Every structure is written in structure tokens, then in C-alpha cells.
Structure 1
Amino acid sequence: MFHLGFIVNPFAGIGGKVGLKGSDGKAIREEAFARGAVSQSINRAKIALQVLLPYKDKLFFYTASGDMGEELLKEMGFSYECVYSYQGQSRAQDTVDAAKVIATKNANLLLFAGGDGTARNIYEAVGEDLPVLGIPAGVKIHSGVYAVTPKAAGLVIEQILNNELVSLLETSVMDIDEGAFRRGNVRAKKYGEMQVPAEHRYVQSTKSGGKEVEALVVQDIAEYVVEQMEDDCHYFIGSGTTCATIMDVLKLPNTLLGIDHIFQRELIQADVYEKHLLEILDANPGKVKAIITIIGGQGHIIGRGNQQLSAQVLRKLGRDNVIVIATKTKLQQLNGKPLIIDSDDPTLNEEFSGPIKVITGYEDSVLYPIGRI
């Protein structure tokens, strides 16, 4: 089941057709409606969702009440849970608060309809922690977090549901000063970046290269992972040659078919057992991550050469603290088959199923599914 957050800014874009160049603020809304403005964002969100109607059995939504999402999902027959409610007309703060609640759920992606102001609200709530995708519905669309059309937003999610490789890109959240814009001055400002799924663009060297090119891609993955390591976090480095390259970058000895424990880029213990992993997890709650890759020819990421990462270890670790790395070539070789977690606990295997971020290069990731077995 793919879990989607879903938020609609019902006032996004109302100022466009009536010449107000935006919809930020209560006074502008009132003026827009006085000029005969009609909300368009709900209709544009509906266009995106229509693409997903054939996938109802694969989707579950977390949304806000009323015209911020619940009414549309109910009308279209999608399964959902309303996790945020508001009174009267929705405000920008309701978008922020709703997104914050959705971020506490197990949503794989937050789909929202609005403009640049809405993107800023979503960024304030979730930052880079949760992948997002915008349905363009505002007057100003400077941010890179939006699909090119509402239908395109639905098509990107359709690709994910069909197990196609969809890159996660870091794109800019931009907005302009509406007051200055109305006076003819465009003053755009970058507020941050969010992770956005984009239609996959294959890197030529990865698609056509041989062993030498593949080794360079693995090196890029390893260098990126090392750059992202946090000094207060313990890391369990898993089995396989891709993980071994991380140890090479760190200039540390590696256990090719085992788990190594590193902290502050130093080897603490090589070839550790389940008992040691549990002790580290208990002593450092929330400060432990595991880095794993595909082992074997069938897409296994757990259960082939890394049984030390048992169901008990994985449950204490948490799905969000599992970092999966693999080249796109290796993922392509699966021919659409999902990744496999074959732990000693079928319930854990089920809990970990669903799309997961896979680091596939330097600042390059894709969403790829973990299947049920």
C-alpha cells in the first residue's frame, strides 16, 4: 500500500483571473471574491487524482478536513484518514499544521495543490524530511517542487505505483514578494529545498557502461554517503561490495560478508553480532543507522549475508534509519521486481514493505518498492 499525504489550498490561484497576481492574505482573498473569483485548486487537484483512480486498491491518503482534501477524496472514492481539522476558512497556518501531522504518519509522499506560498508552508512543516510533489494551482509557480501540469503530477505517482525508477531530486522552494509583483517588480527568493520525485532520466554512463563505469558510480555513492554521516550517529555498515566501498572511502578495514560498526568515521568493532547491535541501539536511541545494499540476484536487502540485522534489530532501528544504496544498473537488473526483506519475522517484513529511498549516486536517489513475501 502506497501512503500519500494530501493537502489542497482551496484559495490558491483565485487572484489570477481577476488580475490580483496572487492570493496571499485575507484582504486579497476578499477582493478576489468580490471581483468574481472562483476557486480552481480543487478542480486541478481532481485532475491529478483522476489518473490514480485505477490504483485505488494500492493507495491510502492522510488528509485535512473539508475542502483541504477530505471532501475531494470522499467524492472520488479513495481510502483516507482525516488527520487534521480546522474551523471556518482555512489559513496558511492550517497548511503548515496539517503537513506537520501528516509528517508523523507513515506517508511515503506528500501531494499538495497550491502555489509558491503553499510550497513555502509545506517546506516550513516538513523541510527535506518527506518527499513532496506539487499540483500547480497558484498564480505564481516559481518553485521547482511542482509538476508541469496537474495531470503530470498524477502520472509521476503512477510511475511509482508501477515500480518504475523515479528519481528523488532536491529542488528549490521559491516565492516572490506579491506586493512588489503588483507594482511590476519581481523579487524572487529561495527559501530552501525539498525532495521531489521526477520522471526518471537515465544517466548515459550508467546505462551503457561496463565494470569500470559501474565502479565509478559506486564510488560516487560511497563518497556521498560518507559526506552525509553525522558525528553523533553510529552506523552499521552492511555486507557487499557497494557497502565495502564506503569503508574504502573511510580508509577502514571491511568485513565483506558481515556488519561493521563505525562511529565518528572510525571503526569501533568489525564483524559484529546481533547482540552487539542491540546493545548499541539500546545505548543510543535514535542515533543509529544501518547502511545496506542489494545482496544476491533476487533483490534481497535483508536475509542474505546480513542476518545479524535481525527482525529485533530492525524493529529497534526503525525503517527511517535504514539507508539503502545501489546503482541504477543493479536496480534495472531486477526487471521491476521489488526489493526483499527476508527476516525471521513475517510481521516485520510486512511492516517494512512499500516504497523506500535508494541512494543511486552523488545527490541522486530513487524511490523503489520493498515487496511483501
Structure 2
Amino acid sequence: MKKLGFIVNPVAGIGGKVGLKGSDGEAVLKKALDLGATFESGQKALITMKALRNVADQLDIYTWPGEMGENICTAAGLSATVIGNIDSGHTTPEDTIRAARSLRDLNLDIILFAGGDGTARNIMDAVGTAVTVLGIPTGCKIHSGVYALNPRNAGMLIAQYVRGKVRETREAEVMDIDEELFRQDIVQARLYGYLRIPNETKMVQNLKSGRGYSESTSVELLSNYIADTMEKDVLYIVGTGSTTAAVMKKLELPYTLLGVDLVCNRKVIASDCTEHEILEYLDQYDRAKIIVTVIGGQGYIFGRGNQQLSAEVIRRTGRENIMVAASKNKMLSLFGQKLYVDTGCEDVNRLLCGYMRVLVGYGESMVVPVTD
């Protein structure tokens, strides 16, 4: 029998769809709820735990009460020993640290946790590299290399670990960024430390990388192409990142580097939009297109830093109206790996899977496989 610890940060990712670019701090949580945000971390973690039902007879699961794990185990049909105590509805990072420390002291085989980079920091503060862990990606900021590609892959990897198919471990980087600067479109990431994870590279995401020196010409060409081919009366939903920002610069328009802007007829009609705002504008336009880029080093096009482009936004826009743009340098740095989507909706993930064209220059593209 393997002993598994399970921790959920229930507020992780709550600021994503409402454009707050993070979930750290009580003030941000309150603002997110005021903007209509909902708690989704537990629902994503449920996907992981359902994937463990086939190995339930080989698992002893230990978790924390309520929304920090117990409720998800119950919903997944898994038995678990519940320890600790929380003030339900008012959990904090300190609760995550307390939970991780208490599970560490039980001499578990592995701790599975759901959250983002802030949660990974809390886990690292509590256990260091003394315990093997794996992250379920449910946060806004997921730069660290300690997370599975998506919740389903987290469950598949744990199942392989339980069956003894993955035995080795390795240290992986925990990164975090300053959220206040992030909201000002300034990315200041630093290495916070390391966690020990299962050594399986196909189901674990890479550390997010920065831009390469030689990509500027490629970005210039592809931004020229997008600007030159924009259609009249079409709503363009422009995603986050420096590549999409280059398109806005080419149009001589103001932009939100780490937010989602809406453009029609070469004018900005809304800036730094929430999911709800994007859906409202989609009701007003007959045609819409999404412009997104690829996260360097990881290969994600949806589900990392652009949660405003939700499953519903993608569904209503249509797969055929998604424009993916990235420099040749960025694509080559992925060494032929697939691109990834993690929208939180398995139906939409499947809709996006298959081959997709990525614009890498002026009218020049690469056809790349996309998976979830």
C-alpha cells in the first residue's frame, strides 16, 4: 500500500477569469468574489482524484477537512483519513503550510497538492525536499516545474507511481512572481527553491522559459502579418504575452501585456477584460477570433496565465477562429514537443486536440500537434 497525502488550496486560481492575474491575499480574494469569481480549484482536483479510483485498493489517503481535500475525496468515491482542522470558507496559506507539515510527519510516500506557484511555495516551506510531491495545476501563476501537465495527467502519474512504474524522483524548481508587479504588466520571477517530484517528464510541465535573443525579427514579421490581415467588423480577442503585445504595438494601440484586450476595426473597445466581459462582447458580434501565443519552455496555449480565455469563450469563438502566434525561436526551443491546453473542461480540451497551425512569420506557419 502507498500512503498518499492530498491537499487542496480552494482559492487557487480564483482571480484568473476575472483578470486579477493571481489569488494571493485576502483583498484579492474579496475583489475576485465581488467580480463574480467562483471556486474552481476543487473541481479541477476532482478530475485527478477520479483518475485514482482504479488504484484505490492500493492507496491509503490522508487529507484535510472540507474544501481542503475531504469533500473532493468523497465526491470521487475515495476513502480517506481526515486530519487537522480549518475554518471552512476562510482558508489561508498558513492552512496549506500546516496541512503539509502534518502530512509530512506521517511518513507518506507522496503528497499531492492542488494550487499555483504560491501554493508550491507554501508546500516547499513546509516539507522542503524531504517528501516527494506532485502539483495539480489549478492556480493563475504556474511557472514552477513541479506541476503535472493538467489534472488528468496528475492522476495518471500518481496511478503509475502507486503501481511502481515510476520509482525515481528528481528535484524541480519552485518559481514565483510578484503579483503586484504582475498586475502592472511587470514579470519579476525568481527561483524560490526546490521540491522533489516523480521523475516522469512526459506528464510533468517544464519550467517556464523567457524569450530568446533571436526571436525579435520573427515576432516583427508575424505581428506585421496579423495586423495586415485583420478583417473588418470582426471582434479580436487578444490574449496575454509579449508576442500578442507586439501585434498591438504594430496597430499603434494601447495594450495590457498580461491581460486580455478586445479590438475591432483597429480600435480597442475594451481592456484587461474578465471572462464575463468577453462573453458579453461575444453576444454583440457575429464573428470573433482569438489571438494567443505559446508559453516558452512549457508549450501551453490555454490555461496558463490566460484563464480569462475560458472554456466557454473558446467554445463560443470556435476552434477554427483561434490564431496561435509564436516566434520560430520559441517553437524550436520546444524541441518538437506538442502544444498543450488545460481549459478546465475536458470536452473543450478534446475539441482543441489535434493539429493546429502556428504562425511564425509573415504568412509562414508550422503545423503542430496539440494535446491536453
The alignment's TM-score, normalised by the length of structure 1, stands at 0.53
In structure 2, what is the Cα distance between the partners aligned to 1:198 and 1:34? 41
Structure 1 match to 2:146? 145
1:104-143 paired onto structure 2 within 5 Å: 104-143=105-144
Q: 2:15 touches 2:21 (CA, 8 Å); kept in 1?
A: yes
Structure 2 match to 1:225? none
In structure 2, what is the Cα distance between the partners aligned to 1:15 and 1:200? 29
Residue deviations 1:231-274, cap 9 Å, x none? xxxxxxxxxxxxxxxxxxxxxxxxxxxxxxxxxxxxxxxxxxxx
Q: What's the secondary structure of 2:56's corresponding residue?
A: helix
In structure 2, what is the Cα distance between the partners aligned to 1:166 and 1:38? 37
Structure 1 match to 2:53? 53
Matched letter for residue 133 of structure 1? L
1:17-96 paired onto structure 2 within 5 Å: 17-88=17-88, 89-96=90-97
Q: 1:48 touches 1:152 (CA, 8 Å); kept in 2?
A: yes
Structure 1 match to 2:173? 172
5+ residue gaps, structure 2: 203-372
Q: 2:166 touches 2:199 (CA, 8 Å); kept in 1?
A: no
Q: 1:115 touches 1:138 (CA, 8 Å); kept in 2?
A: yes
Higher Cα Rg, which structure: 1
In structure 2, what is the Cα distance between the partners aligned to 1:64 and 1:179? 30
Structure 2 match to 1:103? 104
Matched letter for residue 195 of structure 1? R
In structure 2, what is the Cα distance between the partners aligned to 1:96 and 1:162? 28
In structure 2, what is the Cα distance between the partners aligned to 1:165 and 1:45? 21
Matched letter for residue 119 of structure 1? A
Matched letter for residue 153 of structure 1? A
In structure 2, what is the Cα distance between the partners aligned to 1:5 and 1:180? 34
Query: How many residues align structurally?
Result: 201
Moved over 6 A (4+): none
Q: What's the secondary structure of 1:87's corresponding residue?
A: coil
In structure 2, what is the Cα distance between the partners aligned to 1:80 and 1:15? 30
Residue deviations 1:187-223, cap 9 Å, x none? 001111110013268xxxxxxxxxxxxxxxxxxxxxx
Q: 1:167 touches 1:200 (CA, 8 Å); kept in 2?
A: no
Residue deviations 1:24-75, cap 9 Å, x none? 0000001001111011110110111111111111111111111000111122
Q: What's the secondary structure of 1:30's corresponding residue?
A: helix
Q: What's the secondary structure of 1:185's corresponding residue?
A: coil
Q: 1:131 touches 1:197 (CA, 8 Å); kept in 2?
A: yes
Root-mean-square deviation (CA, aligned residues, Å) is: 1.2
Residue deviations 1:310-336, cap 9 Å, x none? xxxxxxxxxxxxxxxxxxxxxxxxxxx
In structure 2, what is the Cα distance between the partners aligned to 1:165 and 1:82? 27
Alpha-carbon offset, residue 83 of structure 1: 1.5
Q: What's the secondary structure of 2:199's corresponding residue?
A: strand
In structure 2, what is the Cα distance between the partners aligned to 1:166 and 1:182? 40
1:269-284 paired onto structure 2 within 5 Å: none
**What percentage of aligned pairs have identical amino acids?**
47
Q: 2:93 touches 2:119 (CA, 8 Å); kept in 1?
A: yes
The structure, 1 or 2, with the larger RCO (C-alpha pairs under 8 Å, 6+ apart) is: 2
Residue deviations 1:116-146, cap 9 Å, x none? 0000000000000001000000000011110
The alignment's TM-score, normalised by the length of structure 2, stands at 0.53
5+ residue gaps, structure 1: 202-373
Structure 2 match to 1:185? 186
Residue deviations 1:131-177, cap 9 Å, x none? 10000000000111101111111111111122213431100111000
Q: What's the secondary structure of 1:20's corresponding residue?
A: coil
Matched letter for residue 134 of structure 1? G
Structure 2 match to 1:160? 161
In structure 1, what is the Cα distance between the partners aligned to 2:201 and 2:49? 21
